[in-house]
Copies of this chain bind each other. A is one copy, B any other.
Amino acid sequence: MRVSVEELLRAHGRPPREVYFDNENSGYVPREVVEEMIPYFNSIGYGHPSITHKPGWEAYEVLYKTKDLLTKVLNAEGLGEFAFVHSGTEANNLAVLGHALANKGRGGKIVVSAIEHLSVIYPAEEAERLFGFRVVRVPVDSEGFVDPEVLKEFVDGSTSLVSIQMVNHEIGTVQNIFELSKVVKEVNPRAVFHTDAADAFGKIPIDLKKLEHVDMVTLSSHKIHGPRGVGVLFIREGVRVEPVLKGQLSYEKLWPGVENVPLIAGFRKAVELAYRDFDLNVAKMREARDLLVRGILEKVSDVLVNGPSDFSMRSPDNANLSFLYVEGEALTVELSINGVYVSSGSACTSRILEPSHVLLAIGRKHEEAHGSILFKTSRYHTREDIEYTLEVLPKAVDRLRGISTIKK
C-alpha cells in the first residue's frame, strides 16, 4: 500500500519526551561507536581484509582485534573460532542449517526449545524438510524455563543438534545453559549444543571455559548498542558446520562475501563499552527495569507479568507485561503518539495474525497475549525516562480500556 509516511508522521504529533524501549530491535548507538565507523567511510576506500595493500591490512586488523576482544570477554582463548555474519539471524542459520549441511548424510534429531527465536526454529524445520532431520520441540514451564530433566528425555543417541537460547528475547528467561548442555552431553556426547546468546550477551556474563559443553554461540551487534549488521557465531574447535551461502571467501571461511569492516569496527567498540563496566551497565538497565515494572504494577490494574516472576532469573533489561482487556498493537500506537516506543506480542502485530509463539508456549491464553507489551531497558535510560513512561502508560491503557468490548 502506498502511504505517505511523512504525512503520517505529521499527524502523529510531537510528544514532550521520547523514550525508546524497543531495544529488542535496534537501540541507541553511542557516539564512540559511531566514531569508530566514520573513518572507514571517510577514507579514500576502506579495505578488503584479504587484499595485500594498506587498507586491506587495516581491515584485517579490525577483524583480528575484534576476535581477540571476543576471545577475552568470553574467556575463549584457544577454544575455537568466531565467524562474522550480518545478523544474529544469519548466525543462527549458520549454526542450525550449517550443522545440517555438514551432517546431512546422517540425519537425526534437532532438539530446540519451544521458545527459541524463529531464526532457530525455522532453520531447524528447513533441515527437516530438506535433509531429513527431525525437529523436536522441548516444552518450557510457565515462566519459560527448560527443565534439564525434561530435556534429558528428549535427547537420545540419534540427537544431532540441540539449540537452546541463553536468554529468551521476549520474556527474558535466563536458562541454566551449563546444566542443560551437560545433560545433553551425558546422554549423547556427540550431540552438538548451540546456544543463541543474542539476547544474553552484554547482560549475562558468558564464560566459554566454564560452559565446556557448549559448542556454538550466537551473538548480535545491535543488541549491545553496536550497529545493526554484525552477527557472530562462535564455533568450538572440532565442531563442523558448512557455509549455508556460497561464493567468494575472504577472511571468513563460513560466510561468503567481504566482511563489513566499518560495522565490525563499531561492533568491537560496542563490546568494549559493554564490558568496560559490565556490572555497572547491568545495574543501570536493571534499575530502570525494576523502577518501570514496580511503577506499572502500582499504577495499572490487571497486569500480568510474562516470564520469570523471580526477577533474578530474568534478563536485567526485560519487562514483558500483559495489559488485560486491551490489544497490544493499539497500545503501541497510543504510546508512540505519546513518545514511548515499545513492541507487542499481540496477534494483531503479526503477519500471520498469530500471537507470539513464546507467549503461547508458556501457556498464555490468546487474550493474555493480546495485550502484551515488551519493554527493554538499557543503560541509557534515565529516571526521567521511566517517570515519563509511568505518567503516559496508565492513561494510554485507560483510554483503550474505555473503548474495549471487554471490561473487568
Contact = CB atoms under 8 A, between A and B. Distances in A.
Interface of A: 5-6, 8-9, 12, 18-20, 22-23, 25-29, 31, 33-34, 38, 40-48, 51-58, 60-61, 64, 86-90, 92-93, 97, 117-119, 122-123, 125-126, 130, 227-229, 244-249, 256-258, 260-263, 329, 332-333, 335-336, 339, 341-343, 349, 351, 380
Contacts of A90: 86, 245, 257
12 contacts: A9-B54, A25-B258, A26-B47, A52-B329, A52-B349, A53-B333, A53-B343, A89-B248, A117-B248, A122-B256, A123-B246, A229-B263
Nearest to A226: B41
B64 A5 contact: yes
B118 A247 contact: yes
A228 B333 contact: no
A93 B247 CA distance: 8
Ranked 8 nearest A-B pairs via Cβ: A119-B247, A20-B45, A122-B246, A89-B257, A53-B336, A5-B61, A25-B48, A29-B41
A22 B51 contact: yes
A92 B247 CA distance: 9
Contacts of A246: 93, 97, 118-119, 122-123, 125-126
Contacts of A244: 244-245
A45 B61 contact: no
A327 to B, nearest CB: 11
A291 to B, nearest CB: 18
A27 to B, nearest CB: 5
A26 B265 CA distance: 15
B58 A43 contact: no
A31 B39 CA distance: 11
Given A229-B86, A247-B123, A258 B26 contact: yes
A242 to B, nearest CB: 10
A27 B9 CA distance: 35
A58 B28 CA distance: 15
A202 to B, nearest CB: 15
B53 A22 contact: yes
Nearest to A249: B351
A228 B52 contact: no
